[in-house]
Structures are given as C-alpha cells and as structure tokens.
Amino acid sequence: MTLDQLQLQALGVLGLTLVLSVLMGALFHRSHFCTMGAISDWVIMGDAHRAKQWAMAVAVAVLGFGLMSWLGWVTPGNTIYANTQIPWLSLLLGGVIFGSGMVLGSGCTSKSLVRLGGGNLKSLVVLMAMGISALATLRGLTAVWRVNSIDLVTVDSGMGAFLGQWFSHVTHIAQPWSNLLSAFAVASLLFLWVFKDRRTLGRSAILSGAGIGGVVVLLWWVSGVLGYVPEHPQTLEPVFLATASGRMEAMSLTAPVAYGWDALMYFSDGGKRVTTGMVMVMGVLLGAFCSAQWQGTFRWEGFTQTADLGRHLLGGALMGIGAVMAMGCSIGQGLSGLSTLSLGSGLAVIGIVLGAVLTLRWEMHRAELLA
C-alpha cells in the first residue's frame, strides 16, 4: 500500500464517520436521547422511559460489538479501553465529577451539541468551558496534578480488562465465543428490563434507541475494519487510521471537543490533524441543526440571568475535567465503552450516574429550602 492509497483510505474513514455522525445527531435531536435526562426523569418523576431508551441503545451496541468480535472483525484488545492496569479511582471520581457537571450544564456533551445545533447559545458556553478544562486536564496544570496523584491509584485487571476475557478464563471457552456469549447475556438482561413493561416505552423510543446503538456498532466497523491497516508503509506496524489514539475508537465527544478548539486556535503550527472524533463533533452538530431546521424548531436562545451563566460555566468545566479523568463521557464510556463490556467503563458509568443523582438530589433539596 502506498501513502497515497493510505491517505485515500483515511479520507474514506473520515467521510463515512461524518455521515454516521450526522445521522446520530439527527437521532439525538428527534428522540431527545440524553443520559442526564434519563437519570433526572427517573429520579424526579419515577419515569423510566428515557432510561429504557438508553438501555436499548447499550444492548444493541453490546450485541453488535460482540457479534463482530466473534466474526473476527474486531477485538476488544485493540480498543482504547484495553488496559492492563485499571485506574479505578480516576474512572470513578471522574465519572462523579462529569455526572455532576452534566446536571449543572443542563445535559452531557452530546446534548450540548444537539442544543447548539438547535440555536441554544447556552450550550456554546458549556462547550467552550468544557474544551478549556478538558485541555487543561489532558495537557495543562490539571494534567500534572492528575498524572501525579489519582492516576497512580490502579488495580491490575487480572484476567483481563473486559468481561469476555474473564468469562473465557473461568469457562475455558475460546475468546471469540466468550465475547459473543458475554455480549448475548448482558444484552438479554437489558432487553428483558426494557420490554418487561411496555407501557413505559413507546415504539419510537425502541426504534431510536436501537438506531443509536446500531450507529455505534457501525462506527466500530468503520474504525476497526475499514480504517485498519495491518502494515503501515512507513512504520511497518498495524494502525487504525484517523483516530487520535492510533487505536480503534467509536463515538466519544468530550476530548474531541477539546481537540477541536485546540485545532481551531493552533492549526497553523503544522502539528494538528483532523481525527474521527473531531469529525463526529461536527457531524452531531450538523445533524441536530438539520433536524431542527426540518422540524421548524430552530431558535436562538441565550442567558437571561447571571446565576444561570455561572451554573453552566461550572457545569462545562466539571464535564471537561471529569471526562478526561474517566477516559470518556456518557457517550464515550456509556455507549462506546460499555459496548465492549469494559470493566473500566462500567466503573466510569457508575460514577456518572452517582454524580448526577447526588447533584439532582442536592438541587431538589435546595429548591425545597428556597420554596
């Protein structure tokens, strides 16, 4: 393979990623898919409608990734979630911080992009604060503190960083089959809960959840199959084209938002390149914009109170810090990470849910005191 062919293949990866991300943005907008919304609906109103929509997306993504792993198309060990040492404290604490931030910021990263696509300038402020704090946590002063403190608190992954690896060690089943069986078992439990009481879930929620999970699977295929090069013509090493990490990636949005702001400001230094994550950010934004225009719901919105501005700035900053610590946001860990059955992703999602619930409870208590 020549370098020209490699570049053409990378452009194909970026182009198809953009198409799928536009579709994802439209699905997010039309279905009101939101991790924070799912948690708040359940905590405040006892309504599990959006939580089941989210579970449906996870179940489809888990089953799809497990099937591709069984077919030999992809392997969890090539993803960004494969670590021999699991930084459990960083994952859990980062998740809590991100979960708290997404409540204060009126939604996670994907929701902020969708709202901005619909004309909500509050979300632009959130994304700017998120990008700055994420960059600082990746490369700045906060990064020094992070690397020299909580990142050092790890636990050996033992039999593996993924549930399929543990299942293989316990049962002595070949890895591809253990990945498939583990995925089938987890997806079945989620499907059972989703369809247990159909009164809490409409057809549109089922289809949108399945569609979102399906897009995550397709993004894994684009990165892990279409974008895989067994031998780079210069390094002679295997590579996954156009990813920020050089490993297989699906959808993750917070770090790409940070990299996008960085590229916008410093692109002329010659060291920046367009990655699939940055394309996903633009795709989700464009998809939400097109959907809002199609529905006729696009309208400009902004802040009317200083307190609201401060709340969203704080929420964005916490999301940026938390997502870097947790190695992903509610999409990067909550959908893409969980689809691989990564144990670390499970810890991060527990932290995100815990942080969101605690912050919602605090806000409810505060509202009662002010009433």
Tens-place pLDDT, residues 130-177: 999 999 999 888 888 888 889 899 998 888 899 999 999 999 899 999
Q: DSSP secondary-structure letter at 150?
A: G
Give the DSSP per-residue string, 322-350. Answer: HHHHTTS-TTIIIIIIHHTTBHHHHHHHH
Spatial contact of 265 and 259, defined as CB atoms under 8 Å apart? no
Determine the Cα–Cα distance for residues 50 and 250; give it in Å rounded to an integer.
Answer: 22
Longest dimension (CA), the chain: 69
**pLDDT-based confidence at 200, cuts 50/70/90?**
low
Looking at the predicted structure, is the pLDDT value of residue 371 above 80?
no
pLDDT of residue 369: 82
Over residues 26-38, the mean pLDDT reads 92
pLDDT of residue 199: 65
- Please tell me the number of Cα atoms within 13 Å of 370 on its side-chain side: 6
Cα separations (Å) of 42 from 35, 51, 217?
11, 7, 27
Looking at the predicted structure, is the pLDDT value of residue 272 above 80?
no
Count, residues in the chain: 371
Determine the Cα–Cα distance for residues 320 and 326; give it in Å rounded to an integer.
Answer: 10
Looking at the predicted structure, is the pLDDT value of residue 202 above 80?
no
Determine the Cα–Cα distance for residues 87 and 325; give it in Å rounded to an integer.
Answer: 9
Determine the Cα–Cα distance for residues 327 and 316; give it in Å rounded to an integer.
Answer: 16
Looking at the predicted structure, is the pLDDT value of residue 263 above 90?
no
Picking from 301, 369, 371, 345, the residue whose alpha carbon sits closest to that of residue 106 is 301
Burial class of residue 370 in the structure, from the number of CB atoms within 10 Å of its CB (0-12 exposed, 13-18 middle, 19+ buried): exposed
